[in-house]
Amino acid sequence: MSGTLLVRPPSPRLADGELTHLDRVPVDAGLARRQWDDYLAVFADRGWQVRELPTADEHPDGVFVEDAVVVFDDLAVLTRPGAATRRGEVASMRPVVASLGLEVAEIEAPATLEGGDVLKVGRTVYVGRSSRTDDDGVARLRTLLEPRGWRVVAVPVTRVLHLKSAVTALPDGTVIGHEPLVEAPEVFESFLPVPEPEGNAVVVLDERTVLLSASAPRTADLLRGRGLEVVTSPVTEFEKLEGCVTCLSVRVR
């Protein structure tokens, strides 16, 4: 299940990134870079082609590339971030996804949508209605996707930054999340609580392997007990800025 991994190197101004639900604490930029390199190695070792976007040192949050575009089959949807300071990150994504042969659409003003609010499970797209994604953004995405056979479901998000800060999905479609952070678990066809907030986010590497933050050892044990292979990677410096293992890349399979 390998493919192309789109990433952007962390800015030396990473510590100045936007915060919504967490208090600001010191961020070690050097450690963040080493953790980012280790994260990329997980994918490279599994045959993914790693493609770096141009550096964007003027954008502290630019490393969180998942927020700039979401890919559905052969359609790349460029977003319009709810944080105005992040909108300059999107322009450099357009030529990259176009070069992969993808059709390109976009979320147009005044709508806002960030990729961290978009969770795909089968042909259903759950979209977080958060401080970064508004009703117009959900409606615009629905207009783009429903003719292509996707079902779009809005989900309330107020306790965390993005929907995928609260929930992600395992290879079999089971949605996982730390219950105190999940507002509507009944929306999902199958929901599994996990014991740690850092365990909310997994990246599916293949149908039996997931990538998880090294900060969630109990969740790793839980998932291994379900027969999954769990690869862990430390992302502490990004977690301080409401980031996680999903938002550091865009996976084009």
Superfamily of domain 4-252: L-arginine/glycine Amidinotransferase; Chain A (3.75.10.10)
Q: Mind listing the pLDDT tens digit for each residue in 18-77?
A: 999 999 999 999 999 999 999 999 999 999 999 999 999 999 999 999 999 999 999 999
For 150-176, what is the mean pLDDT?
98
Query: What is the β-pairing status of strands 191-193 and 175-177?
Result: parallel
Residue 14 has pLDDT above 90, yes or no: yes
Marked catalytic residue, from 21, 59, 162, 244: 162
Percentages helix, strand, coil for the chain (3-state, rounded to 5) are 30, 25, 45
pLDDT of residue 2: 84
Q: Mind listing the pLDDT tens digit for each residue in 84-99?
A: 999 999 999 999 999 9
162 is known as an active-site residue: yes
247 is known as an active-site residue: yes
How many angstroms separate the CA atoms of 132 and 109, rounded?
Answer: 13
Residue 1 has pLDDT above 80, yes or no: no
Residue 216: HSE in the Cβ half-sphere, 13 Å Cα cutoff: 29
pLDDT of residue 134: 98
Q: Mind listing the pLDDT tens digit for each residue in 101-130?
A: 999 999 999 999 999 999 999 999 999 999
Marked catalytic residue, from 59, 178, 244, 247: 247
SS3 126: strand
For 191-216, what is the mean pLDDT?
97
- Could you tell me where the DSSP H helices lie in 127-197? 135-145
Percent of the chain with pLDDT over 70: 100
How many angstroms separate the CA atoms of 19 and 220, rounded?
Answer: 27
For 135-154, what is the mean pLDDT?
98
Q: What residue ranges do the domains of the chain occupy? A: 4-252
Q: Mind listing the pLDDT tens digit for each residue in 205-227?
A: 999 999 999 999 999 999 999 99
